Amino acid sequence: MNDRSGLLTRRALAVVGGRRRVPLGLLATVSQANVGGVVSAPLVASAYDRALAPVGLLLAVAGNAVGTYLGVASALLCRLLFGK
């Protein structure tokens, strides 16, 4: 992901999070779980509040699990649409 798309993603998260009144700690944790992964999401969460560290871990693990299956499904769909 280049710098411009990363900046747009952060701005979009800030706008959506601000409109829905999502706490900044949770918003940062969700963003880091999406980009950083299992190791960094609990660290970012605990920087805001120690109680958010397990939430960061769960979000990161769930993101990895869902992302893996969606990636395999996307590959199968591409194979069906475009051949071998």
pLDDT, tens digit, for every residue of 59-82?
Answer: 888 888 888 899 999 999 999 999
Q: Is the pLDDT of residue 2 over 60?
A: no
What gap in Å lies between CA 2 and CA 17, rounded to an integer? 22
Q: How many domains does the chain have?
A: 1
pTM over 0.75: no
For residues 20 and 14, what is the distance between their CA atoms, to the nearest angstrom?
Answer: 10
Determine the length of the chain. 84
Residue with tokens 């805001």, as numbered in its chain:
48
Residues 3-44: pLDDT tens digits? 565 666 667 777 777 777 877 777 777 777 777 778 888 888
| Residue 38, domain extent | 3-82
Q: According to the model, what pLDDT value does residue 4 have? A: 60
Which of 21, 14, 17, 24 minimizes the C-alpha distance to 47?
24
